[in-house]
């Protein structure tokens, strides 16, 4: 069921099947190049001219930028506000389509499972499927991630 | 076998078992806070005072920063220079230990497999295991990643 993030979210507030979406995350050439110069200076991320002669046919965003910028959109939307305790990791990250200057991405987050911690009474684990789509509705990136979330009574 | 990156690397230059390492990647409080303010503004990443009262007991780097900053170290070391064509994705990313101000990380990259593309004669896939360690020798992050790499004759 599609939901909105509340002012705060704790372990008890998440149920499998819940879905959340963010507003659009815009990518432009200057932002793509600036991120890549700092973190991923490969030719198809930092040089629009050179990128024309690669398999991508033009500048594309670093996959790490797609991860980080869409995560920011989740935090801005209120994701894990209050209860977030970090993440042990993620799985099956796939960069499926290039993200190019002018693209606007939407993040769709679906809860796939929840389980209380066996060893710590104050927290639980919430599993999410992340599906990032561009303005054409194409999935450009997806992954599964687990977050550690504080219990409301803790 | 431990190797150094050559001036350029193509598909034929990689063999299972080859291992590469980067020089140290330094994390400081200002850099941790700056990255997190832009991409991951959770309390334990942006506010040293607030972070003291979380399970981490102090400021820690965003997992996305650990990904991006260590990837930059690989590119600086020469990783995929010449032959790199991007990545379809990664698996089993684990943030195992917090990364704190003052930490110096080393990236160890081991080739776990190579296979030519069935559909494109000019490229192949190389699978890597990434192991990121701190100055105490503890693994702070690990993942498996596949890179698309151009063949030398292409």
| CATH number of the domain where residue B58 is located | 3.10.129.10
pLDDT over 90 percentage in chain A: 91
- B62 chain-A contacts, CB cut-off 8 A: 68
Domain annotation covers residue B96: yes
**What average pLDDT does chain B have?**
95
* pLDDT(A13) > 90: yes
Domain annotation covers residue B86: yes
Residue-level pLDDT at B7: 87
Domain annotation covers residue A90: yes
> Taking the CB of residue A135, how many other CB atoms lie within 10 A of it?
12
Helix (H, G, I), strand (E, B) or coil at B61: coil
* A137 touches B: beta carbon within 8 Å: no
In this prediction, residues A112-125 reach a mean pLDDT of 96
Mutation target vs B (from A53, A90, A123, A151; most B CBs, 10 A cutoff) = A90
The model's pLDDT over B64-100, given as tens digits with 9 standing for 90+, comes to: 999 999 999 999 999 999 999 999 999 999 999 999 9
Residue-level pLDDT at B5: 87
> Taking the CB of residue B49, how many other CB atoms lie within 10 A of it?
9
Domain annotation covers residue A5: no
Domain annotation covers residue B3: no
Residue-level pLDDT at A23: 87
Q: Using 50, 70 and 90 to split pLDDT, how confident is the model at B1? A: confident
Residue-level pLDDT at A55: 87
- A44 chain-B contacts, CB cut-off 8 A: 86
Quote the CA–CA distance of B85 and A54 in Å, as a whole number: 8
Domain annotation covers residue B73: yes
Look up the domain containing A17 and give its range.
11-150
- B40 chain-A contacts, CB cut-off 8 A: 68, 71-72, 75
Quote the CA–CA distance of A37 and B61 in Å, as a whole number: 20
* B154 touches A: beta carbon within 8 Å: no
ipTM value for the complex: 0.95
| Comparison of pLDDT for A44 and B5, the residue scoring more | A44
* B40 touches A: beta carbon within 8 Å: yes
In this prediction, residues A138-154 reach a mean pLDDT of 94
- B86 chain-A contacts, CB cut-off 8 A: 42, 44, 55-56, 60, 63, 95
Quote the CA–CA distance of B97 and B99 in Å, as a whole number: 6
**What average pLDDT does chain A have?**
95
Q: Do B72 and A42 touch (CB under 8 A)?
A: no
Quote the CA–CA distance of A143 and A89 in Å, as a whole number: 11
In this prediction, residues B27-38 reach a mean pLDDT of 98
Residue-level pLDDT at B105: 98
The model's pLDDT over B114-136, given as tens digits with 9 standing for 90+, comes to: 999 999 999 999 999 999 999 99
* Strand extents, DSSP E, B6-138: 19-21, 25-26, 89-95, 104-116, 123-133
Q: Using 50, 70 and 90 to split pLDDT, how confident is the model at B13? A: very high
Q: Do A68 and B64 touch (CB under 8 A)?
A: yes
Q: Do B86 and A69 touch (CB under 8 A)?
A: no
What φ, ψ does residue A8 adopt, rounded to 5°?
-140, 155
Q: Using 50, 70 and 90 to split pLDDT, how confident is the model at B23? A: confident
Q: Measure in Å the smallest separation between the Cα of A18 and chain B Cα atoms.
A: 22
In this prediction, residues A57-69 reach a mean pLDDT of 98
Quote the CA–CA distance of A16 and B129 in Å, as a whole number: 32
* pLDDT(B154) > 80: no
- A110 Ramachandran zone, left/alpha/beta (phi>0; psi -120 to 50): beta
Domain count, chain B: 1
Query: CA B68: distance to chain centroid?
Result: 7
Domain annotation covers residue B1: no
Domain annotation covers residue A76: yes
pTM assigned to the model: 0.96
- A86 Ramachandran zone, left/alpha/beta (phi>0; psi -120 to 50): left
């Amino acid at each position: 069921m599609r939901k909105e993030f509340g002012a705060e979210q704790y372990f008890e507030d998440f149920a499998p099947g819940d879905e959340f979406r963010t507003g659009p995350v815009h990518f432009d050439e200057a932002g793509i190049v600036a991120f890549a110069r700092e973190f991923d200076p490969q030719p198809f991320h930092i040089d629009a001219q050179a990128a024309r002669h690669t398999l991508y046919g033009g500048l594309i965003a670093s996959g790490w930028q797609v991860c980080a910028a869409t995560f920011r959109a989740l935090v801005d939307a209120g994701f894990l506000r209050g209860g977030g305790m970090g993440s042990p990791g993620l799985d099956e990250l796939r960069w499926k389509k290039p993200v190019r200057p002018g693209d606007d991405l939407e993040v769709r987050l679906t809860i796939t499972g929840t389980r209380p911690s066996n060893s710590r009474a104050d927290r639980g684990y919430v599993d999410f499927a992340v599906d990032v789509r561009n303005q054409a509705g194409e999935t450009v990136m997806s992954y599964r991630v687990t977050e550690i979330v504080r219990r409301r009574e803790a």
